[in-house]
Each structure stands twice: as structure tokens, then as C-alpha cells.
Structure 1
Amino acid sequence: MGFQDEFQASLEAINVHSAQLLQYLKTNRQPEADGSGLPRDPFDAAPKSIKISRKKFTEASASLVGLGTRPEEYLEHLQNGYQELTCVRWLINLDILEYIPQNGVISYNDLAAKARVPWSQLRAITRMAICNGFLQEPRPNVVAHSRISALFARDQSFLNWARWMVNYSVPTAYKLPEATKMWGETSAKDQTAFNLGLDSKLPFFDHLRQTPAMTDLFAAYMRNVAHNETWSLQHAVDGFDWAALPAGSKVVDVGGSHGHLSIAIASKFPHLHFIVQDLPESVSTARTAFEADHRLDASVKGRISFMDHDFFGPQPVKDADVYLLRMIIHDWPDKDAKNILSNIQASLKPGAKVVIMDTILPQPRTIPAMQEQQLRIRDLTMMQVFNAKERELDDWKALASTAVLQITNVHQPHESVMGLITLESAAPPSPPHVPVQTVPAVPTAIPSNVIVHPTTADKPVLIMGAGIGGLCLAQALKKASIPFRVFERDQAVDSRPQGYRLKLEADAAKALEESLDTDTYAAFVTSCAVTTIGETDFNPFNGNIVHSRAGGGLSGKMGLYPSFTVDRRVFRNQLMSGIKDKITFGKEMVSYITDEADGTITVSFKDGSSIEGSFLVGADGLHSVVRKNRQPNHPLVDTGAACIYGKTVMTPELLQRFPEKGLRWMTVASDSAPMLQSCLIGESPITVLIEPIRFSAETRNLHPELPADYVYWALIGRKERFDLQIDADVSTAKVSGTAADLSLAVTAEWHTSLRSLFELQDRRQSSMMRVASTVCDIPAWQPTPNITALGDAVHPMSPCGGVGAMTALCDAAALAKIIKAGLTTELMGKFEAEMRKRAWKSIKRSEIGSKKMFGQKDLVDCPPFQL
């Protein structure tokens, strides 16, 4: 269509719809204000036909404005746009709207005084906003709400949507050119315009979980979106022929969160049953809310169930009639989207369908401009925040093909920003699947005589985590000729700091000897550092000794009497000796399922791959997927502490500056708040634990790979002392530098002799972490014969002389014996009970030490740890 034709079509549409709207306004006079006195929209109560006419009038008007704008005026249009955003952001973030009466006016002088902002800025910014319909000035120098600003004052969720937009969406969008310049074409979730706009190293949802204020705004934004007609669930209810499905048909709502869509469909179609799948933490919250919702009819509740499932793993439901994915695929780039759909395709029974409800981008200028703008906004938002995209129909066809699916129907509901795409398998029929069952969060009781199927080379023991506990177990299984595989989420053995010094006491040393073969154990013994037993305590401010004693405390082995002192990196490498071909790095577990028919466990990884085994061990640390599934109510607590680990090489300068008596054995220095400060914040001690790591000449001759002699240190205290919100996982070079700077900052008042340890540190080796723990009384769980966990996956604790690592070694040795004896539910129950008993002693010891080192509260009084 040419310019003149478009111009004429827009004018004609305006004439037609303006006449209809004017007639409606004349015959349906509405109050100009609501009950609170705020201006109201005259079309709020209009019938659907008038609302459609209003929208077409708006679209035609926008088209006419565009046609009437000269090219030279385009930048002026952009100027208005960014200043409009700036004004709205200023008015919202400074809470100006709170002080404008809902029914009446206020002068600029009074408003400036109440809001505590400069009068001149307020008037200039408000008058710019008024140019775009936001607020009004009914008479000179007084302000009142307009129809637009009244909605912000009336609806808190809409106001929060605006806060989200101006404070997060706009900065994110603005950084898109810089993101492209820095990373080019990438699908990485932490290489986005969002990362630059918000100065975050984390993917969007990880950052969101760690930013409570942002989380609250996002939730409000999503609530507002959910109530918007263009996002209405009703489009999904009416947009697919649910009535045509046979009675008793099963629908799987993949990634269905709280199940709102399933509830909406189930309420209208009583012959259908639904399974809502999502991650365990989401399902736990959703199930609680669902069961507590007394507004739902019992007939609806009885047809909806919830299931833990990560859609990057194999789909456990094999007999569904429809797999429904609403607003799922658009979050993921093609590679991940293919994995999601392929997992579903592999589970499709003959005739089953996949229904995707997501945006279907149109060809340019094939729909009204304002509608296309909203779809393009969604597309760019996906790009800027997730490195994902919205797709055109051809993109959907290509994606379906890669997952061996074919599109059989496309439906675009009127007024919806999303269409419905129906797909079916494009593969020839396959033999029936063996039914599988998702592992329940708390498994039902299993008879004590049930024995797991024997471990074989093609179904080995699967160990998640290549930390000290997981590797010790692997060595013990190797010694017993039991097939195993180890999978570690880190990209390499040294991709993040693991600490430096570790002391092994008698029980841990015995566990290690039982687990390693003769040669590996001998290599371990000969690689250990010189062990000296004693403790010297220094006053950090004057550098003087305040306490010192050789030995472990009392005679008769009462106290601290370690058997071995090891360098953690050397130790871990030795635990990998002879089994490196069984260890795979860069494999992050996301879910698992168990097949009760043959005892097989299938573990799925984030990269879309999977592996089968006969027994699963979660040695995957604080973020354990196994714990989240087996022990969903397992209490992890935030001790309130942060810890900086560091390493300082024993250079001639250090030996000259650092106190000689501080390099004999364990050295401790602890400061606390001055008197008046302690009245407000308590003692708030910060403690450094120091230990020299020296290797004998004989040891170095046998092990040339050993590092130079060094001093290991750990600086621990309340996280507020570090003046930093520390992320759960920090291992980048930037953070190493930050950790080194913080160690200097918090010891700024210390004596120069002790401070030399931090001044001469290897800055690349510094790392920091928040300190989490579990409570001493770990809740029991129902044992099963083919799944368990050990180490930090079960009993994380505050660092205290390496007690956590020693406990993990004992766990591993004990579990290896159970596996060798034959896995029964009864034996697994005994192992897990003994592990909890062992952990109780270690956690209690850690708790006592933590109270001394940084004033930790009783663990039962600590708040939950936010992963």
C-alpha cells in the first residue's frame, strides 16, 4: 500500500471508529471519577465491541501520526521518548505520586515540601510528564492526577510494573549494543545485556533469587501481566479443542509452576486429568498453596496432581495425551529448546500431542503496527535478558523438525500475544516404553529385604561430585572392582578454589587407608606436609603472644592430634590417580528418575545428556540435587559468617617480617569490637587461623609436583564485617582480587608483623564464601536401596579444622562397605543413621568453634540459608 492509500485508510478508520466511540460516550455517561476521587477511564465498563473499536481507533491514529511525521522529526520523537521515561522514573522512584491527593489538587510548593525535592526540578519534570498525559495541571501551579497517573495511584501492582520497567528493563535494553560488542553471537545466560545493565555476573533468575527487592518487584510485575487480557489463560482454555479428547485423558502441564493453567482448563473440562510438573522447590510451594486453596471445587482438585521434574531431563510420564508448554520455549535458545522438546518427543505414545503456547512473530507489517510492536518488544526482551528469542512460524517449524516433531495446527487467538501450536511425533511408531516413576521427594517405605540390582559396567554406581568425599568413594569402589562413574559440575579440577590445607585426624586417616589401594595410599602418605602439633594465639593489635602451648591440649590424645597435614590440591589429584578416565568434568546434574521394573536410575544433565546406573550417590555439595529430591525439608541455615581463604608463600620477606613463633604450628589471632561499638553490635569478632605448610626434602624428592612452602590462612567473621554481599559461588579473578583487598581492609588496625601475611599474599589464590551449615539434629528420611548422599550434600558445616572434609571421608568409607555387602534398604538405613550420628558430633564441634571465632548464634536460631 502506498503512502496516499495508507493515509486515506487511516483517516477512514478514524472516522468510522471515532463516530462509534463518540456515540457510546453520549449514550453511556460515566462518572469522571471513581469512589476514591481518582479520574477513571470512560471506556472501563464498555462492551467488547466498543473496546475493539477503541483499539482500532488507537491503531489508526498511531498510523496517521507516523505518516504525518517528517523524517527530520524522528529524532525529536526519540527525544520525547527518553525524556518521558526519565520523568516517569523520577516521579516514581522519588514517590511523588504518594503526595498527590486522590481527590483534589496540590501546589508545586506544597508537593515539593512533602516529597523533599527541589521545587524547580519538580515543576519542570511534572510539566514534561503532563505533555504525555501523565498527571495534569488543571490551573496554574497546581497538580492533579490524570487518567493515566490515576491508574498508578489506584493499582499498586501496576505501579510496581512501572518500577520494574524503569529500573530494570530500561537499563537492560540500553546495554544491548555493548553486549553485542563484548560477546557477539552467544547463547550464554550470563553474557547478556541484563548482565551489563545490572552489573551482575549471574544469569537473570540466579540474580533474581539473590536480590529480594528485585524479586518482589518481579513478582508484582508478573501478577500484573497475568491479569492483562493479552496474557489471559482463557486464550489457552478456548484456543485448543480440549472437548475432543477422550474421557480420562491425561494432560501434562510442563513447567506449569502453580498449576493455574491446569486449574483453568480442568474447571471447564471435567473429563480431563492433569499433572503439573516443575522444579522441586516450585512444586513444594505450589502443592502447599494448592492444598490450602479452599475456593477450588473438590472435583477439580481431585483431577490435578503435582510432580517434581526438570524439563531438561527425560520426560517420566509416558502415557499422556497432551503435553502442554505455555511460555516455556521462548526462554531458551534453539539448542536448549530442542532438548526440552526431544525429551517430550521420546515419551509420546501414538496419537499424543504437544501443545506449545508462545509468541509467533508475524512477517513485518502483516498485522497492526501497535500489535506488532508488542510482539517485537517481547522478542527483544528475550534477547536482552536470556539470549533467547521469540520465533516466527518458520522458526517453529525448523525447531520442531530438529526434535522429530511436526506442526499439525496453528491458532492465533484474537487479543492474545501468544498463539497455540499443535505438534505430533514425526518419527515412526516405536515399541511401548517401560513405565517409569519419578522419585518422590520422600519415598514410601520399601521392604528391608529389597536388594538393588547388581552393578554392571553398563549400569555403574553414579557418583555426583568430584570432591574429596566423592573421589574417596570412587577409589574404594575401584579397590573392590565395582564399576562406577564420577560426574562433576565444575569445568576442571582447578576451576575454582578448594581451600589449601587439610588436617586428617585418626578416624579420617583410617577411612582413607581402607578406601585406597596400597600404592595410592603410600603415595598419599609420602606426599604429606610436616605435621607439628600446637597452638599460639596472638594479640592482633600489638603482635604479642597471649597464649601458646605445644601438643594437642592434654596428654592421652585429648585435644587436637592430627595424623596427616595435606595440601588439598595435591590430595585431590592423588584421589584421582588411576580413575581419571572415570571422571567427567563440566557435567551438572539437573534431575533423575528411577525405573522400578529393573532398578535403573537415569540421571539427566544440564547439557541434555543422560546416563543410566544402578545406584546414585549425591556427593554434590551444598547445592545437591539429590538432597533437594530425597530430603526437601532438610534445614540448611545461614551462620551469618563469611570466610576468606588465602595463601602466602614463605618468601624471605615473609620470614623476616612475620613473627617466627607464629610459623611453628597453628596460629590464631582474633580481634573484637571496641567497647562502645560492642554495646551496639556485640563483640563481632573476626578471627584468622594460620598454619605453615612445609614439605621435607625427602618428600620433595618423591613428589616434585608439590608447591613451594607456604602459609595457609582463613579469615572468618560476621559477613557485615566484610561490607559485602557475598554470592553463594564466587571464584572469578575479579572476586579473588576483591577478597585480597577485603582481607587487608578488615585487618587495617592490626600489627604490621601479622599484617605482612595479607600484604604478601598471592592475590590470585584468595577466595571467599558465605558460611552455611545444617543443624546438629539432621532429620531422618526414608531409606531406599539405590539412592543416598554424603558429605556436604547431607551435613554442610562451618569450617573448623577441616572437620567437614574428615566427616565426608568417613562417610565414603562406610558407604563403600555397604555397596560391597549388597545394597538393601535395611543396610542403607543403618548407614544413613550412622552418618547422621557421625555428623552430629562434627557439626557440634564446628558450632562450638564458630561461636568462638565469630560469635555465631546457636544453629537452631540461625535463619534459613538462601541457595
Structure 2
Amino acid sequence: MSDLNVMIIGGGIGGLCLAHGLRRAGVAVTVYERTQTRTDWLQGYRIHINPHGSHALRACLPAANWQAFLDTVSVDGGGFAFTTEQLADLVRLTADEIAPTGGADERHYGVSRISLREVLLTGLEGVLRPGKEFTHYETTADGRVTAHFADGGSATADVLIGADGANSRVRGQLLPHARRIDTGIVAVAGKHRLDGATLPRVLTHDANLVIPKDRGSLFTAVWHPDRRVIVPDRDTPREFLLDNAVPFVLWGYSDAATAFPDGVESLPGADLQRLVLARTGGWAPALRDLIAGSDPRAVNAIRIRSATPVDAWRTTSVTLLGDAIHNMTPMAGIGANTALRDAELLCRRLTEVAAGTSALLPALHDYERQMLDYGFAAVRQSLRNARQAGSSSRLGRAAVRTAMRITGAVPPLRRRMAARLGR
């Protein structure tokens, strides 16, 4: 085993997963994270972990952390449907059609960001350096990399991995030409609690993508409570615990930004609810109940952004992972899973370097080649989904709805669609 030393900038899902994998393999690794405390990242919605993500977590995490993940998650046992605005099925696939058979690391799961982050933080004492805001890096004369931080400190390693998210400073220096674009789509999202709610079964058990005749789209997904609440602190704000202690239906209404008023992102939740309800007049009452019955404090609007394609670059001892390189829209639900896939692949390649079976730059080059291929395929898929949501072509929508009905009725097409959703 060589004395390979790795530094990771950013303590998000992908960076922490990679750190666990390298530590398990005996590779020296340090994670530099700008936030100070564990609760700085209590945020957001639940995460869907697909088989790629499950496999990466199983491969990288210590046995105790993997078991903690399994003890926490809910198994996604619902189906997926494409429907009309009246909740009439275009095609509805069951969980058995979608879910692959196999072991625990080949399944779909739902987990809150809170619980997943706790699983990933556990056991990294001595590896994680909080409160370290990265500013820039320099390559040393011997090919190593020195990272500089806002507090005046610095650190040097053989490899620097930028896992610092969509606004990555590492990417900004390594690939200044790499850009993120505004897709022209706005999404308004909310949560409808299920304790005492009377929504129909299709909304409380399956995920749905509503494709109306006119414009816009509505996505719904069911999130069950984490089976073991990892953050039970009574001082934790109630809105955080909504994410992992209470069942809810997540919904997201998307359309072209031009269909919304200026400054929509800054509107209060109640105003956003009224706006979406006005745009869904005549839709199925259950869909309108879903929107109207949500807690206004959990309703927000975001402009959807996406990375632009990046050609392969000259491999150096600095590389990128996850959103730092292939940031994507949420319209395919695979961003976190793609980052985990990066982590598992990069862990294998760096472990080979440490073991002396591969040289550093060829190993990083192979990682970048594969990562750019599947990572930007995911970006294209999510961007395509986002732009379809913003289409106002009635003819195009009619064609999509017809194609969905045909897919549902033709077994080979149905199986192919289920296989894509199951990946």
C-alpha cells in the first residue's frame, strides 16, 4: 500500500461517501467542509436512492453505517404512473414491474436528507474538518496540490477532489469555461402531510407525473417516515422533522418561467399555492386538494438550472465529483445517485493507485472518462424532462399522451419503460 493522500473539498453526499470508501481501504483522506455544525445541513426534501446509489453506499460504507442506513430507510414499494390532469392513467407501472430482484444493494429506497447525512457523518471523526471554506488551489512543483482556505490555512495532498456542489470553486478554477444555464423552467414545490389526510390511493401510494393537455406538469411522490429517526432532538425545529418523522406527499408544479410573474421565487408560500391553484383550474379535485392542503411554510419556488456539456480535459491531480461537474435538474430524480456512483467509481480507482496496481493520472483519467459519459447522460435526461414540462405545444402533448397509452398497452414497450425507471 502506497502513501497516497487524498483531500476532498465539500462534505456533501458524494464527498462523504467517497471518504468512507477510502478510509475503509486504508487510504489517507481528509474532507474540508465550510459549514460548522451537523445541523447546518438540515434541509430539503427526501432523497430517492436507486440501485446505483444503493450499490455505491454498500460498497463504500462500513458495515455498521450500511446497517444504520437500512434500519432508517423506507423501501419504495409504490408504482409510477403518467396521468392526465383528471388523474386518468396514461400508463401505470406497478412496483413489481419497476423494482429489480436482488440483494439489499440493488433496491430502491426513500431516506430523508437529515438521516442520510447522519449516516454519512458517523465514523468520520478525524477525517472531517468543518469550518474550512476553500478559496483556491495551487499545484506544487512535484505535482501535488495545495488547497487554500478563507481562514488563511492550507493543506497539501496528492489528489484534490472538488465535491463542493453546483457552485463549485474547484470547478471554477479547473474548468473556467464550464457553465450552468438557466433552463427557463420554474418549479413550485410543496408537501402535503398524510396524517389524517383523505387523498386517493393513487396519490398516497404511487409516484405520478401529470401531463395536462395544455401546459405545465405536476409531479407527486409519497414519502414514508424514516423507520428510525436519527435526529430525535426535541430542540430540532418541527419543519425539519417533517422530512423524516411524518408521512407526506411531495408535489412539484413546473412550467416555463415566462408563465409565472416576475420575482416568483420570492413569493410567500401561500401566494405560490394560490398561483398554482389558479393554473390548475379544472384539474381533478384530488390534485387541487393536494396543493391546497399543503403547509404554506413548505411551499417554495426555484428556477431550474443545469450544467452544460463538458468535453474531456487534460487529467491532472485535481478532479471533480457530483454536482461540482454534472449538476442537473431535479426532473429525473437521479442527481444524488449519480454523485454516489461517482464516489464508488473514484474510490475503486484511487484504491488501485494506493495498492500500486495503477498509476495516479491514468486512474483519474479512466474515472473522468466514465463519469463524464454516464454523468452527462443523466444531465441530458433531466434537462429533456424539464423542457418537456415547459412546452406549450398542444400537438406535442397530445403525441406524448398517445405514446404513453401505446406504451402501457404493448408488453415489450411497457417492460422497457419499467426497466428504465428501475435503474
- TM-score (ref. length: structure 1): 0.39
Q: Does 1:575 align with 2:120?
A: yes
Q: Distance in 1 between matches of 2:301 and 2:130?
A: 23
Sort the Cα spacing of 1:830 and 1:645 in 2 relative to 1 into closer, same or farther, 3 A. same
Residue among 373, 386, 389 paired with 1:850 = 386
SS, match of residue 794 in structure 1: helix
1:826 maps to amino acid: P
Q: Does 1:613 align with 2:157?
A: yes
Sort the Cα spacing of 1:702 and 1:603 in 2 relative to 1 into closer, same or farther, 3 A. closer
In structure 1, the residue matched to 2:88 is 545
Q: Does 1:783 align with 2:315?
A: yes
Residue among 206, 227, 235 paired with 1:665 = 206
Taking the TM superposition and a 5 Å limit, the aligned residue runs for 1:440-459 are 454-455=3-4
Asked if structure 2 preserves the Cα contact closer than 8 Å seen for 1:530 and 1:693, the reply is no
1:780 maps to amino acid: A
Structure with bigger RCO (C-alpha 8 Å, 6+ apart): 2
In structure 1, the residue matched to 2:250 is 712
Asked if structure 2 preserves the Cα contact closer than 8 Å seen for 1:502 and 1:801, the reply is no
Q: Distance in 1 between matches of 2:268 and 2:372?
A: 37
Asked if structure 1 preserves the Cα contact closer than 8 Å seen for 2:77 and 2:95, the reply is no
- TM-score (ref. length: structure 2): 0.77
Q: Distance in 2 between matches of 1:591 and 1:856?
A: 44
Asked if structure 2 preserves the Cα contact closer than 8 Å seen for 1:686 and 1:854, the reply is yes
Q: Distance in 1 between matches of 2:224 and 2:34?
A: 32
Q: Distance in 2 between matches of 1:490 and 1:573?
A: 15
Q: Does 1:834 align with 2:383?
A: no
SS, match of residue 623 in structure 1: coil
In structure 1, the residue matched to 2:187 is 643
2:311 maps to amino acid: P
Asked if structure 2 preserves the Cα contact closer than 8 Å seen for 1:526 and 1:702, the reply is no
Asked if structure 1 preserves the Cα contact closer than 8 Å seen for 2:42 and 2:114, the reply is no
Sort the Cα spacing of 1:752 and 1:556 in 2 relative to 1 into closer, same or farther, 3 A. closer
Asked if structure 1 preserves the Cα contact closer than 8 Å seen for 2:350 and 2:363, the reply is no
In structure 2, the residue matched to 1:69 is none
1:769 maps to amino acid: I
Which is further off, 844-853 or 489-498? Answer: 489-498
Residue among 465, 482, 505 paired with 2:27 = 482
2:388 maps to amino acid: K
Q: Deviations over 1:315-371 (max 9, x none)?
A: xxxxxxxxxxxxxxxxxxxxxxxxxxxxxxxxxxxxxxxxxxxxxxxxxxxxxxxxx
In structure 1, the residue matched to 2:328 is 797
SS, match of residue 661 in structure 1: helix
Q: Distance in 2 between matches of 1:579 and 1:757?
A: 40
Q: Deviations over 1:640-687 (max 9, x none)?
A: 1122343232121xx22x2232111102334464xxxxxxxxxxx322
Asked if structure 1 preserves the Cα contact closer than 8 Å seen for 2:52 and 2:340, the reply is no
1:789 maps to amino acid: L
Q: Distance in 2 between matches of 1:756 and 1:483?
A: 53
Sort the Cα spacing of 1:496 and 1:564 in 2 relative to 1 into closer, same or farther, 3 A. closer
Q: Distance in 2 between matches of 1:645 and 1:583?
A: 33
Quote how far apart the aligned CAs of 1:476 are. 0.9
Q: Does 1:814 align with 2:359?
A: no
SS, match of residue 646 in structure 1: strand
Quote how far apart the aligned CAs of 1:498 are. 4.7
Quote how far apart the aligned CAs of 1:843 are. 2.1
Quote how far apart the aligned CAs of 1:553 are. 9.5
SS, match of residue 245 in structure 2: coil
Quote how far apart the aligned CAs of 1:725 are. 4.1
In structure 2, the residue matched to 1:769 is 302
Q: Deviations over 1:7-63 (max 9, x none)?
A: xxxxxxxxxxxxxxxxxxxxxxxxxxxxxxxxxxxxxxxxxxxxxxxxxxxxxxxxx
- Greater radius of gyration (CA): 1
Asked if structure 1 preserves the Cα contact closer than 8 Å seen for 2:34 and 2:133, the reply is yes
Q: Distance in 1 between matches of 2:95 and 2:381?
A: 15
Q: Does 1:501 align with 2:46?
A: yes
Question: How many pairs align?
Answer: 370
Asked if structure 1 preserves the Cα contact closer than 8 Å seen for 2:273 and 2:296, the reply is no
Q: Distance in 1 between matches of 2:329 and 2:96?
A: 22
Q: Deviations over 1:828-854 (max 9, x none)?
A: 111100111111331232233223323
Which is further off, 610-619 or 642-651? Answer: 642-651
Quote how far apart the aligned CAs of 1:792 are. 1.0
SS, match of residue 779 in structure 1: coil
Sort the Cα spacing of 1:649 and 1:816 in 2 relative to 1 into closer, same or farther, 3 A. same
SS, match of residue 715 in structure 1: strand
In structure 2, the residue matched to 1:760 is 293
For the aligned residue pairs, the C-alpha RMSD in angstroms reads 3.1
1:519 maps to amino acid: A
Residue among 721, 733, 741 paired with 2:259 = 721
Q: Distance in 2 between matches of 1:757 and 1:496?
A: 28
Which is further off, 837-846 or 620-629? Answer: 837-846
1:746 maps to amino acid: V
Q: Distance in 1 between matches of 2:230 and 2:167?
A: 37
Residue among 690, 693, 705 paired with 2:223 = 693
Q: Distance in 2 between matches of 1:856 and 1:805?
A: 30
In structure 2, the residue matched to 1:436 is none
Q: Distance in 2 between matches of 1:562 and 1:707?
A: 22
In structure 1, the residue matched to 2:414 is none
Taking the TM superposition and a 5 Å limit, the aligned residue runs for 1:211-610 are 454-455=3-4, 460-490=5-35, 492-495=37-40, 498-540=43-85, 543-551=86-94, 563-597=108-142, 599-610=143-154
Sort the Cα spacing of 1:562 and 1:844 in 2 relative to 1 into closer, same or farther, 3 A. farther
1:744 maps to amino acid: R
Sort the Cα spacing of 1:651 and 1:602 in 2 relative to 1 into closer, same or farther, 3 A. same
1:665 maps to amino acid: D
In structure 1, the residue matched to 2:177 is 633
Runs of at least 5 residues in structure 2 that lack an aligned partner in the other structure: 234-243, 354-358, 394-423
Sort the Cα spacing of 1:533 and 1:568 in 2 relative to 1 into closer, same or farther, 3 A. same
